[in-house]
Structure formats: C-alpha cells, structure tokens
Amino acid sequence: MADQEKKVLGILAEFANPAELVKAAKEVRDHGYEKFDCHSPFPIHGMDEAMGLRQSPLGFIVFFMGFLGLLGGIALTYYVAVIAYPLVISGKPFFSFQAFVPVYFELTVLLSAFGAVFGMFHLNKMPQLFHNLFYSDKFAKATDDGFFVSLEGEDPKFDAAKAKKLFESLGASSIELIEGE
C-alpha cells in the first residue's frame, strides 16, 4: 500500500524575540496575507496594529446584551406591577420603578456577562478541538518561550515556497511546513 501524499496545511516560523515577531507580523501583513496568526507566551504591546487587526466587536455585543437586560427588567417589572398584580401599596402608583432598580441592575449585569462569555466564544471560534498547528512538535514552545507566526494554507495568496523565502528573509530561526491529511 503506497503512502498517501500529505497536503501542506500551512507554514510555521519561529522568531527569537518579541521585537522580531512584531516586525515579522508587519511584513506578513504588508505582503497581503490575511489568514495568519502570531503566537507568544505573553501579550505583546503593538501586536494588534502589526497584524492589522480591527477593534473587537465584543464591546458592542456586551452593551447590546446589557441594554436588552435592562429593557427585559423594565418589561418584567411593569407587567408584574401593572398588569398581573396591580396593587396599591402606601398610595404609590402601580408602576413605581424606584423599587425595582436592583432588578434592573442585576438583569443588566447578568445579560452583559452572558454576552461577554458567549460573544467571546463565538468570536474566537471556540471550542476548536483541533487545529493544524497541532501537527507541529515545535509549536508547544508557544506557551513557554517561543515566538511564532503561522500562515494558513487556506490563505488566497499562500504559496509555500514564497512564504518560506519571506520568513527566511525576516530571520526566522526555524521554518516548518505543516502537513497533514
């Protein structure tokens, strides 16, 4: 039985330090690659700009969910106080919102938190149980002392030979083709 040829799924380049990683990210972005990522054991100031990432929409998601919680709290308390159980207590009007401010606050916080957690999961495409980079043995260093740029094989401009030359010109200490089935 003949060995099946492995498909090139991407390329992984390791750099010596954070400064080189930021420089490499800028160059990869300037060469027109879109599906690439940078991996380091800690956050690096300026990496978002270097990669050309736009602002996350998570803040808008959290705000919208919080506003939805506030409106839901107002609707709930209005329904209970005016429609379902219209009781006059101490001569106050049916809908005296001041008594329900803690309910509004708690529902706003609750839905904001749900928006933050589930919005983050959605935006980060989680849970992702497997990624092509798991084929690489060197990639385990990304959580300890490695600085990597990974370029996806699905990128429209991806050409393994050109990408390898680019990473060599940027001074990558090691370059690995990610191959799989």
In a domain, 1, yes or no: no
The per-residue pLDDT for 90 is 84
Ramachandran region of residue 156, left (φ > 0), alpha (ψ -120 to 50) or beta? alpha
Indicate whether 50 and 18 sit together in one domain.
yes
Task: Domain of residue 145: give its range.
Answer: 7-55+131-180
Domain of residue 140, CATH code: 3.30.70
- Number of domains the chain is built from: 2
The per-residue pLDDT for 3 is 55
Indicate whether 112 and 73 sit together in one domain.
yes
The predicted model scores a pTM of 0.77
pLDDT along the chain (181 residues), means of 10: 73 96 96 96 95 95 98 96 90 88 97 98 92 89 93 94 95 92 76
**Cα separation of 83 and 141, whole Å?**
62
